[in-house]
Structure 1
Amino acid sequence: MSQLSKSSFDFLKKLEKNNNREWFKENKPMYDAANEDAKAFLGAVEDTLNTFDQIEKKKLFRIYRDVRFSKDKTPYSTSFRMSLGREGAFRRGGYYIKLEPGGSMIGGGFYNPNPGDIKLIRSHIAADDKPLRKILKSKKFKATFGELMGDQVKSAPKGFSKDHPAIDLLRYKAMYVFKEFSDKEVLAPTFLKEVKNVYKTIQPFFNYMTEILTHDLDGVPLYK
């Protein structure tokens, strides 16, 4: 399945208007078909990514929401959310997809890097921020994603001066980018090709991160 079917989007639209357990139970066959459709699309994305990257795992998130600590008590998600993790110690980060009527997007990066990784990322940036800035300022990258996204510390991370020339980058606790898509684009036969183009655009960022996360500041490999 190279594209999500219109019937799957129609299910999500109906679910948004009828987000309750009674309606969902009555329309479970419609959900089952849409969920299988989403799984097939995720498999197609994985196959596409493996032509220029290496994917270790993929996940289609559950439609059932955990409402225990949420003010929003609606029981079901009205989107299909997916993630694909890059392979092993030599590749970090991952890809993310959200398919939702009126709110679809695809992206990638480092959503929740472990403390050791973010410390090493900051150390490399502090030593030389030019390689990352070159990637972020490239015409294709900016045209596709705009600006780098991610939560940031308010002042300066521990061990770094708030006056450091690269403090704007050092503040990031997570680093990722995304591109939004209209419903028409998502349901078009060319959508998988668009996904491929977007994810190829993010490769320089991932390649840079792979390099700095597998080497110390002297360029000595951290993994054999």
Structure 2
Amino acid sequence: MSFYKLYNFLRDLQKNNSKDWMDENRSQYLEVRNWYIQWLDELNTELAKVDKDYHDTPGRKAINRINNNLMFHPNKPVYKDHFGAGMDLAANGKQGDFYIHLGTRESFIAGGFYKPKKEILSSLRDAIDYNGADYKKILNKKSFKDTFHIINDGDSLKTAPKGYSQDHEHIDLLRLKTFAVQHDLTQNEVQADDFKAKCIEVYKEMKPFRAYLNKAVTV
């Protein structure tokens, strides 16, 4: 098995996104899924070696369901056109994970908090109010800027959040509703022999960013 076959399966699924097709090709899906779970197990072991604070996340725990939730999104296809996996999952469920997204339209590695709930967003803003300079140092580090782009879907506040002044020195950060970054991948990069090593390097570069945010929501 390989990521080449994983992408081939996703392309076939995208063209035939139905329960009938999935039922007919269930064995192929399970072969791809089980292989990817094993690959995630290997990555999980390697990440634990480079980070003493890493939360053990076996592949079966990391990998997301491929079914879309049609109860809340009835207009979506039955199945996702990607495999998603969240590594470094804390038992309390509060911390932002290290997310790997492999799909037909886009592949990337991301981390942080995407549109977090009100209480988490409040904690993140409190941390930035207290020591936003440390956060900006992380964001402005050259190697970090060369590796990631800030996820910004345009829903930042137009004014200051309640309790903060318009002239706050970190008002640009306080207005945000998402605190996450992304490293884009090509399919060739994913299919390369050194992809696991690349994931580890991206994890290490992202670690200070995730550590700052995770501390903000747990302390």
Instruction: Compute the TM-score of the two structures, normalised by the length of structure 1.
Output: 0.83
Kept in 1: contact 2:151–2:178 (CA 8 A):
no
1:1-224 matches, cutoff 5 A: 4-53=2-51, 54-57=54-57, 58-70=61-73, 72-87=75-90, 92-111=95-114, 113-147=116-150, 149=152, 152-213=156-217
| Shift of residue 211, structure 1, vs aligned partner | 4.7
| Shift of residue 210, structure 1, vs aligned partner | 4.6
Q: Tell me, in whole angstroms, the C-alpha distance in 2 between the residues paired with 1:140 and 1:86.
A: 25
Q: Tell me, in whole angstroms, the C-alpha distance in 2 between the residues paired with 1:124 and 1:40.
A: 37
Identity percentage of aligned residues: 32
Q: What SS class does the counterpart of residue 51 from structure 1 fall into? A: helix
Q: What SS class does the counterpart of residue 146 from structure 2 fall into? A: helix
Q: What SS class does the counterpart of residue 183 from structure 2 fall into? A: strand
Q: Report the number of matched residues.
A: 212
Which sits farther off after the overlay, 146-155 or 184-193?
146-155
Q: CA RMSD in A?
A: 2.4
Q: Tell me, in whole angstroms, the C-alpha distance in 2 between the residues paired with 1:79 and 1:86.
A: 20
| Shift of residue 86, structure 1, vs aligned partner | 4.1
Q: What SS class does the counterpart of residue 87 from structure 2 fall into? A: strand
One-letter code aligned to 1:17 = K
Kept in 2: contact 1:152–1:172 (CA 8 A):
yes
Q: Tell me, in whole angstroms, the C-alpha distance in 2 between the residues paired with 1:125 and 1:208.
A: 10
Cα distance change, pair 80–119 in 1 and its aligned pair in 2 (3 A): same
One-letter code aligned to 1:176 = A
| Shift of residue 125, structure 1, vs aligned partner | 1.6
Kept in 2: contact 1:125–1:166 (CA 8 A):
yes
| Shift of residue 200, structure 1, vs aligned partner | 0.5
Cα distance change, pair 208–104 in 1 and its aligned pair in 2 (3 A): same
| Shift of residue 50, structure 1, vs aligned partner | 1.1
Kept in 1: contact 2:44–2:56 (CA 8 A):
no
Q: Tell me, in whole angstroms, the C-alpha distance in 1 between the residues paired with 2:206 and 2:166.
A: 29
Kept in 1: contact 2:111–2:210 (CA 8 A):
no
Indicate the structure with greater helix content: 2
Gaps of 5+ in 2: none
Which sits farther off after the overlay, 55-64 or 97-106?
55-64
One-letter code aligned to 1:165 = E
Cα distance change, pair 24–87 in 1 and its aligned pair in 2 (3 A): closer
